[in-house]
Every structure is written in C-alpha cells, then in structure tokens.
C-alpha cells in the first residue's frame, strides 16, 4: 500500500506533518491563510485539480481527499481518480473516519472484483458504515456522544471513461460542459426536499412525526436535516438511543427499524469530450452559490487557485447577507464564524481527456487528504 509522504493534522489548522511528526511549511503542495487551507493546482490521472477548505466550526467538521493512480491493489487493476467530500455534523469523528477508511475499502472490493462498479462502491460505503458503528459500540460507555456524530459522504470515481458518483446527505457534484452549462450529478437527501419527505413517510407510514417542520426547517424526527448519512448511530440502532446519550438526542419511543440510511444514491455518467470539469463541494458552498454561478466562475477564471476562488465567492455572498464586508468576515475566529457560514470544502477536477494525462507518470500515485499530499513512486 502506497502512503503519502506526510499526513495533515485533522483539527482544522490545515497544517502538515512529516513522517517524524514535525510540522512542515512553505511547500507548494498546500498553503494556509488563516482559517483557509488550499492547494491551488495538482495533477491527477485525467488532468488537474484544485482544492480548498475553509473552517467555520471550532473543530473542522469537513474532511476530504483526492486519490489518483491505482484503484486496487492489483498491478493489472484499474487506474483512475477518487474524490471524496465528507461533511460532518455533531463533531469531526465520523468525517475523519470516512476520510481514513472509505478509499481503503473501495480498493479492497475493487481488488476482489477486479473492477470499479456500482456494486463495489456501494459495498465500500456500507462497509465503512458498519466499521464506524462497530467503533461506536466499542466507545459507547466511555464516549456515548459519538453515537450522535455523523457525516454526509460524497464520492466520485473517474475510471475507464466513466464517472461514478455516490452520495449520502446533501453535498453536491456539478459538471461543467463546453458552452458553460451546469448539470448536477448527485442526488441529495435533505428533508427540505419534498421527494425526500415523501420517501421517509412511505418508509415509516405509522410514524406521523417522521419529518417535522421546526423553526421553518424540515427535520427528520425534529433532529436532523439529512435522511442518509454515515454514522448517526442514535437514529439507526435503538441500543444507542438511550442513556447515557444526551437527552436532546433521545427519542421518546423506541423505533423498530433504522430511521436514517447509509445506502448511497449512485449515478454513472459516461464522460463526453464536451465535459470539462467537476465541482465537488459540501453544502456550505451551495448555500451561497447556485450550480450555474459556480460553473460560470470556473469558466471565467484561471485554473490555478480556482477552488480557493469559489470559496471566496461564497464567503463574499455570506458577508453581504449579513451586511458586512468580506474583509471583516475574515477577522472572525473559528467557532463564532459558524454563525455566518459553514465549513466549506471545494474540489475542482478538470477533465483533460487524453487516456492518461501527460504530466502524470504511470508509476505514480497522488494522495491529498484534508490538507495535502504529494506524488510518490509506486512499489514495484
């Protein structure tokens, strides 16, 4: 298994540590500007990518990764690019866990099946879910609050001319095509969407409170907006919906089957020469920018730093909504910043459709996790 030369810290400072655990800086693989971490431009198997993360919460709850190179442990296995955006809620633990395990599980099942497929991706999601729920069970007595922590999970796999998009929650991927057209490829699972509410009601016909309008926001059981996630054990297994979990998460009546699901919605898109780029982002971006606005920004700006530019555009809108200047918003510290905007993760993946990008050697892999990574030679 190829490992990146360093691993970033996970508590939101955007920093990097070498193998000896010491912080490293001044490297072109990633930079930090206050609460913003960014990698302006990197290479993947099919082109270039740009990545940026801005923190709003006291602890960064967004985690993300770009992995490019072999998608299985077999020498003859598929090569491609994997992108993951994991928007945590209730804490960073689930998103961090997914960041460390989902791609590993994908490679395991891809090696077994010798291919990338819808079934392989679904199995990777559900295996990651089961592993996290096992962790919750192990830590239940000492750390019961972990049962109330969860994460949205958006993953994209580019392989053999296809784009596979899998999603639980409300992160989103939008494709930009020649002619500046924006098209959303992911299906979202948020109770604010009528079809999601209808789905929940059909799955729980005897529960009149399965979705509740609370403070003008639709929530599942009055607690959470998303209907699918990784984690959130307290709404999946009744054994975790009791003391010592905090009272605000406990339901008054036991539930006979899981309320939330971890099964992803999967879309398979055959890549076409007119497909130019993909924007993967947590809902913190889409709260302030429409699909078309984001695509127009990418089309009208240089590639280098484009993810950072999208984050800045969203923050400028957030500041304007509160009748303040962007420069003043930047001065607000993490934690307090959550009152103005959410954590925001953006990964822009360009599709330069030669079979293998000329600047990406066959014997290399790229791993960027929540803050950075570097190409390293594969083991022979």
CA dist., res. 103 & res. 121, Å (int): 10
Query: Count of domains in the chain?
Result: 1
Residue with tokens 């096992």: 134
Which residue in 101, 152, 132 sits closest to 265, CA to CA?
A: 152
Q: Is residue 105 part of a domain?
A: no
Return the H-helix or E-strand segment holding 172: strand 172-177
Which residue in 350, 352, 351, 347 sits closest to 368, CA to CA?
A: 347
3-state secondary structure of 84: strand
The string of DSSP codes covering 222-282 is TTBSBSB-EE-GGGT-GGGSSTTS-GGG--SS--SS-SSB-PPEEEEEE--TTEEEEEEE-
Q: How confident is the model at residue 27 (pLDDT cuts 50, 70, 90)?
A: very low
CA dist., res. 174 & res. 184, Å (int): 4
Residues 6+ apart with CB under 8 A from 89: 61, 149, 150, 151, 152, 224, 226, 229
Which pLDDT value is given to residue 361? Answer: 66
Can you read off the two tokens belonging to residue 87?
């928007």
Q: Is residue 64 part of a domain?
A: yes
Q: Is residue 122 part of a domain?
A: no
Q: Is residue 145 part of a domain?
A: no
Q: What is the rounded (10 degree) CA torsion for 369, 233, 229, 342?
A: -70
CA dist., res. 213 & res. 273, Å (int): 44
Give the mean pLDDT of 304-310.
Answer: 96
Residues 6+ apart with CB under 8 A from 113: 119, 120
Q: Is residue 224 part of a domain?
A: no
Which pLDDT value is given to residue 365? Answer: 85
Give the chain's mean pLDDT: 88
Pick the most confident of 18-22, 346-350, 373-377: 346-350
Which pLDDT value is given to residue 29? Answer: 60
In this predicted model, what pLDDT tens digit does every residue of 177-192 receive, in sequence order?
988 789 999 999 999 9
Residue with tokens 């290399």: 364
3-state secondary structure of 105: helix
Q: Is residue 104 part of a domain?
A: no
Evaluate if residue 372 carries a pLDDT over 90: no
> With contact defined as beta carbons under 8 Å apart, do 369 and 8 qualify?
yes
Q: Is residue 38 part of a domain?
A: yes
The string of DSSP codes covering 17-43 is E-TTS-EE-S-TT-EEETTEEEEEEEE
The more confidently predicted of residues 354 and 370 is: 370
Task: Report the CATH number at residue 353.
Answer: 3.60.40
Evaluate if residue 367 carries a pLDDT over 60: yes
Evaluate if residue 28 carries a pLDDT over 60: no
In this predicted model, what pLDDT tens digit does every residue of 249-300 receive, in sequence order?
999 988 999 999 999 999 999 999 999 999 999 999 999 999 999 999 999 9
Q: Which domain holds residue 279?
A: 7-92+154-188+265-377
Q: Is residue 35 part of a domain?
A: yes
């Amino acid at each position: 298994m190829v490992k990146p030369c360093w691993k970033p810290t996970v508590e939101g400072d955007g920093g990097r540590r070498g193998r000896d655990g010491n912080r490293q800086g001044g490297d072109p693989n990633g930079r930090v500007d206050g609460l913003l971490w960014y990698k302006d431009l990197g290479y993947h198997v099919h082109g270039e990518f740009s990545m940026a993360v801005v923190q709003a919460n006291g602890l960064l709850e967004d985690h993300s990764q770009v992995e490019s190179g072999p998608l299985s442990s077999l020498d003859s296995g598929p090569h491609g690019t994997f992108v993951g955006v994991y928007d945590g809620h209730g804490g960073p633990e689930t998103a961090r866990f997914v960041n460390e395990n989902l791609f590993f599980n994908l490679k395991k099942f891809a090696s077994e099946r010798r291919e990338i497929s819808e079934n392989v991706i679904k199995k990777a999601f559900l295996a990651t879910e089961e592993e996290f729920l096992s962790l919750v069970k192990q830590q239940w007595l000492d750390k019961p609050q972990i049962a109330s922590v969860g994460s949205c999970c958006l993953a994209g796999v580019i392989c053999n001319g296809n784009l596979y998009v899998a999603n639980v929650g409300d992160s989103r991927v939008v494709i930009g095509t020649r002619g500046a057209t924006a098209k959303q490829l992911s299906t979202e699972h948020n109770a604010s969407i009528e079809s999601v509410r209808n789905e929940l009601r059909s799955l729980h016909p005897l529960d009149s409170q399965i979705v509740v309008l609370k403070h003008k926001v639709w929530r599942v059981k009055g607690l959470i907006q998303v209907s699918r996630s990784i984690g959130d054990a307290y709404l999946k297994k009744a054994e975790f919906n009791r003391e010592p979990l905090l009272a605000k998460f406990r339901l008054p009546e036991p539930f006979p089957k899981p309320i939330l699901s971890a099964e992803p919605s999967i879309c398979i898109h055959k890549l076409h020469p007119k497909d130019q780029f993909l924007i993967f982002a947590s809902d913190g971006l889409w709260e302030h920018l429409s699909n078309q606005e984001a695509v127009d920004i990418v089309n009208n700006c240089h590639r280098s730093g484009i993810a950072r530019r999208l984050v800045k555009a969203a923050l400028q809108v957030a500041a304007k909504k509160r009748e303040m200047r962007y420069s003043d918003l930047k001065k607000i510290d993490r934690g307090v910043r959550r009152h103005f905007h959410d954590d925001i993760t953006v990964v822009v993946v360009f599709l330069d459709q030669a079979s293998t990008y000329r600047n990406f050697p066959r014997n290399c892999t790229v791993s960027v996790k929540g803050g950075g990574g570097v190409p390293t030679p594969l083991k022979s």
